[in-house]
């Protein structure tokens, strides 16, 4: 008899595999490496899924035939036919399960609003916004290289760009440029050979320096964070068009855990947008979404 749910939450930094019962009680869990196919390739993502599901089942002593439903919410799956490939990988491993996959924003959405309408916003290495209304899903923003602002990648990238502009005198040097110099060396232009090939994760690793500089009064850093939070607020504002009255907004991602960015976001969003604190990991939302497949 099939009696378990599998939820997978994957992004630019890690992938969380959660096995639980129908009441979303955790049975077993594994955390592995990143899984955005635009960064690591779809074959690497499928291998990661196969390996970790096999280990999860072995560790829990549960048969693959006992999984009733599985959902994988992974960043980047809306590109090409990646979602279909991941769904097939799940179906091949779990013969009795109803399987589906889509963007990781769905995990946050169903984690916070398993039985009601609402909005989810992710602001980590990347950013995205999804609306759930009467079990219909609507996407706002997060369109890969065409829509990169509002996340750790862009905050880190903009911080480096500011440092380079101070090198040629276009912008005034301050705390932010000093912090970046401590990381890459005082000659920013000479560091270009190392900076240009960096991945999105490596750019995002500079975001904490931008926040530190802003907290120490650096105007350039403050402007970078403000611009990115205005973008996230624009997603939340557009999401409000799907609702007549107050609507809940669940937040996820490291950038929105920072007090400065959160306070700025609150200043820019509509009054009827109600920010929701959701302590459950997004993988629980993936499991909740899996349950709706039955």
pLDDT digits (tens, 9 = 90+) for 200-239: 889 999 999 999 999 999 999 999 999 999 999 999 999 9
Burial 28-37 (b: 16+ CB within 10 A, else e): bbbebebbbb
Query: CB-side exposure of 248: number of CA atoms within 13 Å?
Result: 17
The listed CATH number (3.40.50.150, 3.30.420.40, 1.10.10.10, 3.10.450.50) that belongs to domain 4-103: 3.30.420.40
pLDDT at 68: 97
Per DSSP, what are the bridge partners of residue 133? 136
pLDDT at 1 over 60: no
H helices within 23-100, ranges in order?
37-40, 42-60, 82-93
CA pair distance 88, 82, nearest whole angstrom: 10
Q: Mean of the pLDDT values across residues 108-136?
A: 88
3-state secondary structure (DSSP) of residue 11: coil
Query: Cα dist. 213→50, 218, 222 in Å?
Result: 42, 5, 8
Count CB neighbours of 277 within 10 A: 7
Residue ranges of the chain that CATH labels 3.30.420.40: 4-103, 115-277
pLDDT-derived band at 147, boundaries 50, 70, 90: confident
Residue 107 near residue 124, CB atoms below 8 Å: no
Indicate the pTM of the whole model: 0.80
CATH architecture for residues 115-277: 2-Layer Sandwich (3.30)
Count CB neighbours of 178 within 10 A: 16
Query: CB-side exposure of 39: number of CA atoms within 13 Å?
Result: 21
CA pair distance 278, 95, nearest whole angstrom: 32
């Amino acid at each position: 008899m099939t009696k378990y749910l599998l939820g997978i939450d994957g992004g630019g930094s890690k992938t969380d595999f959660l096995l639980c019962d129908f009441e979303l009680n955790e049975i077993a869990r594994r955390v592995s490496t990143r899984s955005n196919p635009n960064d690591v390739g779809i074959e690497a993502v499928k291998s990661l899924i196969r390996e970790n599901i096999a280990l999860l089942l072995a560790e829990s002593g549960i048969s693959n035939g006992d999984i009733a439903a599985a959902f994988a919410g992974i960043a980047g799956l809306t590109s090409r036919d990646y979602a279909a490939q991941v769904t097939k990988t799940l179906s091949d491993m779990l013969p009795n399960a109803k399987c589906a996959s889509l963007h990781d924003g769905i995990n946050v959405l169903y984690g916070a609003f398993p039985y009601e309408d609402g909005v989810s916003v992710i602001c980590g290495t990347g950013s995205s916004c999804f609306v759930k209304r009467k079990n219909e899903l609507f996407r706002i923003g997060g369109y890969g290289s065409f829509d990169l602002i509002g996340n750790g990648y862009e905050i880190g990238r903009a911080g480096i760009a500011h440092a380079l502009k101070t090198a040629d005198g276009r912008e005034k040097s301050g705390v932010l440029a000093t912090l970046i110099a401590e990381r890459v060396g005082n000659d920013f232009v000479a560091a270009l050979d190392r900076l240009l090939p960096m991945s999105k994760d490596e750019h995002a690793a500079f975001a904490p320096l931008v926040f530190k500089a802003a907290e120490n009064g650096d105007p350039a850093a403050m402007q970078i964070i403000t611009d990115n939070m205005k973008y996230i607020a624009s997603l939340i504002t557009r999401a409000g068009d799907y609702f007549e009255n107050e609507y809940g907004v669940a937040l996820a991602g490291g950038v929105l855990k920072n007090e400065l960015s959160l306070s700025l976001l609150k200043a820019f969003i509509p009054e009827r947008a109600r920010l929701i604190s959701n302590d459950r990991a997004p993988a629980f939302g993936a499991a909740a979404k899996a349950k709706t497949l039955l």
